[in-house]
Amino acid sequence: NIFGPKAVVSTQSTGRMRLSGRLYSQAVAALRTILDGELTSIQAAGTYKHERVITTPMAPHIGVTTSTEKVLNFCSNNYLGLSSHPEVIDAGRQALDNFGNGLSSVRFICGTQTIHKELEDAISRFHGTEDTILYISCFDANAGIFETLLTSEDAVFSDQLNHASIIDGIRLCKAQKHRYLNRDVADLDRQLSESSARIKLVVTDGVFSMDGTIAPLPEICDVADKHGALVFIDECHATGFLGSTGRGTPELTGVGNRVHIINSTLGKALGGACGGYTSGPKQVVDLLRQRSRPYLFSNTMPPSVVGSAIKVFELLEDSSELPELVDRNTMHFRNRMKEAGFTLSGTTHPICPVMLYDAALASSFADELLKRGIYVIGFSFPVVPKGQARIRVQMSAAHSIEDIDRCVDAFIEVGKAKNVI
């Protein structure tokens, strides 16, 4: 008896429980029918996503359950190769020993340790900003900033290809919402000129992750200055490896501190675990600490992740070797693939989308590559627009030239077999 040894369940109570159980079963059965239809349509379109299961730490060579041999991984955001770096792991282990597994709290109650403040200071120094606030993910950082910062008196101008987390974050705010054409500064200029909002906030990805293209920050900053607007960038696919010292698209494009607010992640190049942040003016960060809902109502970052991230920033401060390796590997891959006849989006970014345009082709092409020991994923609608299916190949500082050549050779073999080249 689930109610205890002395509990008595009345006949009337038992009847209600049975009726409730039947109604629950009927509701679940109806839900299953609806969702089965949705899932069947996804499968019929060739866009169903199967998760491959990895059996090893993240690295250029990884084990997967579908292969007895290790495969070459070319679809990770592990740009600097630091996800399994021994110094990063040791720093995380030391933080785990010194500060525990977690804090069981949000930051403002009892979730702030000395290492959280140390990491925030390190990020601010890295970007040359006044202050930084940590989140459990950059999705949360993007979900928390616009609703906090903007009111109905303000306006936000967002690039049409911005990340889903930016789109969702903007939906939460009461500001006047404008969307300009991807990287189209003339369209942005026109829309800004028509606005009389109190705060005008231009929002763009520093790098557009599905295309490997880079925002025209000098021109965006010029237009923003012209109209008294602020500039916000999402640097998730730039921080740590773009620019001569890895300080992202502002460094790469030479705009320096003309970008006012930076959101980025610790879950890609900077150790690959989790965590995100907003870095910018102190007043912005102070207000986020008071009102940002994802910050106020989500647990603090685990100490081991914080300790690992601190070590990553130390490594970046000490040397620019890793960003240089990313650039070298990127250009080697892009040049060889273009010579072979493939069409690639972007120009210099380590995200190297190989355009195939057909969803079923992208999926089957990726499957054939896996048989040849190359781990990549086909992307199709709704992740990218219909008719723009592709395989997104990503370079890492940890890849060798031999790894890259093996990848290109496999692409050529499958491309010829499928009449792509």
* Residues tagged active-site: 209, 237, 268
Is residue 159 within 8 A of residue 170, CB to CB? The reply is no
Q: Report residue 273 as tokens.
A: 């675990």
Q: Report residue 52 as tokens.
A: 């491959």
Is residue 59 within 8 A of residue 266, CB to CB? The reply is no
Q: Report residue 188 as tokens.
A: 């942005």
Is residue 142 within 8 A of residue 120, CB to CB? The reply is no
Measure the CA angle with vertex 247, ends 80 and 294; round to 5°. Answer: 85
Q: At what angle do helices 303-318 and 86-99 cross, to 10 degrees?
A: 140
d(CA 268, CA 309): 11
